Amino acid sequence: MMDTDSNSKNDLAAQYIALLEARMHVADKLAEAYADLRSITEQTEGANAEVNTLAQESLLLKSQLGAHNSAIAKCQLLSEANEELQMELTDLRARGATAVVTHGGQRSTNLVSQNHHGSETSSTHRDTVDQSITDKRGLKRLQPHESISSEAATAPSMHADGHFLHTHSRSTVSNSSFASDSAVSADVQLHVLTSEDGEVKCRYCLGPFTSPHQNDWIQHIASCESTPKAVTNSLSSADAYSLLEGGADVVGAEKLSASIDDHVTKKGIGRNRIVSCNYCSAPIKSDSKKEWEKHMYAKCPSVPSAVREIYLPFSEPTQMNWTPQSHNYDAYPLKQSAEGSSPSLTTADQSYGDHSPLYFPTEPVPYLPDGTPNTLRFRAWMDIIRYQRPRHKIVNASGLKMTSFKKMNQFPEVRLIAETSSSKSTLGCYAVPEYLQQAFLDHFDGDNKTGRPSKGDGRRGPRGHLQELTPSTVFTKSDSFDGQNSGLRRNSSVEGSIFKAAAYRGSGSGKKYISVIREIMPSFPMLPDDSRKAVKRGVRLFLEAELQDKFADYVIVKGGGTMYMIPDDLMDAFKEWAYEELTRCFPDELIVRV
């Protein structure tokens, strides 16, 4: 009995312990579940916050989308309104053109036909009139202040029934107002429109000017696609800028600034900064303000002379105070290029020798790039050759003749853009005054009278003077390659003795030509292969012309390559020649005079 009671008590204790353990296990699970619940609650709160943020962003995007759609609709409305305005503008121009024709005495809408009995009948020839009215370029050339002569506006033609019919020619309407460049005024005030509120617009594209400076107006009109060609030519001349000086201001209503920073435009910072001229828009590849000032007085063709005078160095001779040296020619007075030229530039003492002035189909430019009158009638040497020797092809080595001629005849250094050249470099090429043009042509042809050294004397000319190569010995065929260089080949006698050798070194000493070229043109190693080869061919031609039979002493051939050495006594002449040639052939690269 006692054993049974103790066993039952033991069972109850065991059960109680088991129950406690079970409850503790459940409590642990509840604690874990509670921790999980708190974590889930926190995640839910975070998700709700993200949902709210996304909801706000979606509302913002929705509002932006609505604004974008509204802007698109407004753009469409503006486009339609613009088309309507363009149509109205075309109609107004047509009416203006008709009014000009009517004012000139010829109504193109009512054409009068008259038979041989003297009876008059009214007829309408609408085809020609419609063509004249709808011709965009023709309408732009007809302005209210211009007149059309009755002879130019109408031309008699025979009708099918034998009557004479006066028809209006579209080309006559479009071109009669600007028959010649000289008939178009260079005064910019005649090519602008001023509204009642003082806004100034281009007469041809009707675009408003953002600058009050008149020289900016000239640049806009000269580059405007809607401007007639005759107006562009007139405003591109120096006359347009010289007329500004006669008014109340030269560049707007404010005084000229002496700070070079006010005459250039700077874009970018650091090494990427680009500095360009305000007048010709050409980039100035230098960070030196002295180079900027030099561009204003020596290189820019569009700068007003008042601005040029600010930076013109007084220590250098100008075109106004220079007097040509006398030459051994017979007296032949030089004609003045324009009426009213300065008496200080008379050239009665100049001479042509036994020659009359050369004939050219065009007149030389009336003004030089510095704004002074072209009294000596300078003309680009390339134009002289192309007009007088039309079959001659100008190549890289042709500049040697101009360089040597300039050294032998001390005349002012003037650069002009060749009118026969398709490459309009801002630097242009050397120009020759009229009294030396025949001498230059003789020099180019190889006339000994003009100072060309005779062949076979075994001596080099004076230091720095380039001896000439005749075209027949150098230019036998034309090879096309990049960089304006063509038609050069090696001298056949040199090829046989030097360039076919596996290794050769001349006895002369000097500096490698490529080292000198790199000093003058730092970007030379980055040039295309064809351009670098062309420069090398030009160097060889220079050395052959200077050294003649001593050329082989300054050639090094090794490993299939050829290197040319520049003698010390020829270094100055070579640097001068290289600077001129590289500047002409690579106008976009930085060229340094060393």
pLDDT tops 50 at residue 322: no
**Pair (341, 427) in one structural domain:** yes
Does residue 67 fall inside a structural domain? no
**Pair (495, 592) in one structural domain:** yes
**Pair (495, 399) in one structural domain:** no
Considering only 103-107, 401-405, 459-463, which range has the smallest mean pLDDT? 459-463
C-beta atoms surrounding 2 within 10 Å: 6
CA distance 338 to 321: 19
* Cβ atoms of 498 and 504 closer than 8 Å: yes
Which range of 134-148, 214-228, 579-593 scores highest in mean pLDDT? It is 579-593
**Pair (482, 578) in one structural domain:** yes
Q: Confidence class of residue 45 from pLDDT cuts 50, 70 and 90?
A: very high
**Pair (573, 547) in one structural domain:** yes
**Pair (387, 438) in one structural domain:** yes
pLDDT at residue 351, rounded to an integer: 42
- Give CA separation, 496 vs 170, 219, 407, 556, 561, in Å: 66, 57, 33, 15, 15
**Pair (217, 284) in one structural domain:** no
pLDDT at residue 503, rounded to an integer: 52
Of all residues in the chain, the percent with pLDDT exceeding 90 is 16
pLDDT tens by residue, 411-445: 888 989 888 876 655 567 889 999 999 999 888 88
Where in 298-414 does DSSP place strands (E)? 379-380
CA distance 447 to 378: 22
pLDDT tens by residue, 284-298: 888 888 888 888 877
**Pair (219, 139) in one structural domain:** no
Does residue 222 fall inside a structural domain? yes
Which residues is 557 bridged to in the sheet? 504, 562
* Cβ atoms of 489 and 396 closer than 8 Å: no
Does residue 48 fall inside a structural domain? no
Q: Confidence class of residue 513 from pLDDT cuts 50, 70 and 90?
A: very high
Residues spanned by the domain of 141:
103-152
Contacts 24+ apart (CB under 8 A), 578-581: 578/516, 578/517, 578/520, 578/539, 579/520, 580/399, 580/403, 581/396, 581/399, 581/538
pLDDT at residue 316, rounded to an integer: 36
pLDDT tens by residue, 343-390: 333 333 344 444 568 888 889 999 998 888 998 999 999 899 988 887
Predicted TM-score (pTM) of this structure = 0.26
Six token digits for residue 500: 């076919």
CA distance 409 to 417: 21
Does residue 60 fall inside a structural domain? no
H or E stretch at 431 = strand 429-432
Six token digits for residue 100: 């000009």
Of all residues in the chain, the percent with pLDDT exceeding 70 is 62
Q: Confidence class of residue 259 from pLDDT cuts 50, 70 and 90?
A: confident
**Pair (187, 240) in one structural domain:** yes
Q: Please tell me the total count of domains within the chain.
A: 6
